[in-house]
Amino acid sequence: SGGMDSDKQRIARAKSQRGQTKAEFERVTTHPFIHEEHELPLCPYISRRSDAIGLHGAAATSQQPATEIALDILRAGGNCVDACVAVAAVLNVLEPCSMGIGGDMFLLHYDHKTKKVTGMNGSGRSAAGQTLDYTRARIPKNCKEIPTDSALAITVPGACAGICDAMEKFGSMSLERVFQAGIHMAEKGFPISSIASSLWHDAEAELRENGREGKNEMLIDGVR
């Protein structure tokens, strides 16, 4: 022990110093763990981190390398849309389950000069020949939803067109420039965060099952 306080002692002292009730303290310091589906316990903590601030732009993503790329684009003179598209390209590689080129994209753009907010809908549509009757005839009986692993759940990708439209309307750099980092990571390799790695590993069997001949392009050598 060496005279070190336990976590419970530190938390109790912090509550006492702040004059908070137990309910008030837990509301502020207790948050669900990211793997809610695993039913893991809540993790109480006391944050000692300062706010993240900056004078020339900011970026927040789920992967550190993607955040760094966004800041690199801003430092190079790019605008917020250039940075966002660069992040999308990088996350296509680092976290394709969240930002895949075959998925959708949505955008809210605020123009500081005009004080105007513009929305862009880059969601995909169902195939032209996929009518309601066609779909109902091909899903299990008594099924109220299209199974997520069914080909019928796939839409015509909207992300690619949405990204191109966003860059044409709001971007200041070329697509070639903002895609550079993502292309480099795909060709040369890339780091994976522990959470993304765990989720990817958990999905291996399902990816192979839904791949071709027991392999999937989302896995190393198609199998792991």
Query: How do residues 26-44 score in pLDDT, each as one tens digit?
Result: 544 444 444 444 444 444 5
pLDDT(203) > 50: yes
Q: Which residue has the higher pLDDT, 93 or 15?
A: 93
Across the chain, which distance is largest between two alpha carbons, in Å?
72
Query: What band does 142 get if pLDDT is binned at 50, 70 and 90?
Result: confident
pLDDT confidence tier of residue 23, bands split at 50, 70 and 90 = low
Greater model confidence, 23 or 191: 191
Secondary structure (DSSP) of 85-153: HHHHHHHHHH-TTTS-TTS-EEEEEEETTTTEEEEEEE--B--TT--HHHHHTTS-TT--S--TTSGGG
Contact 69, 181 (CB under 8 A): yes
pLDDT range class, residue 24, cuts 50, 70, 90: low
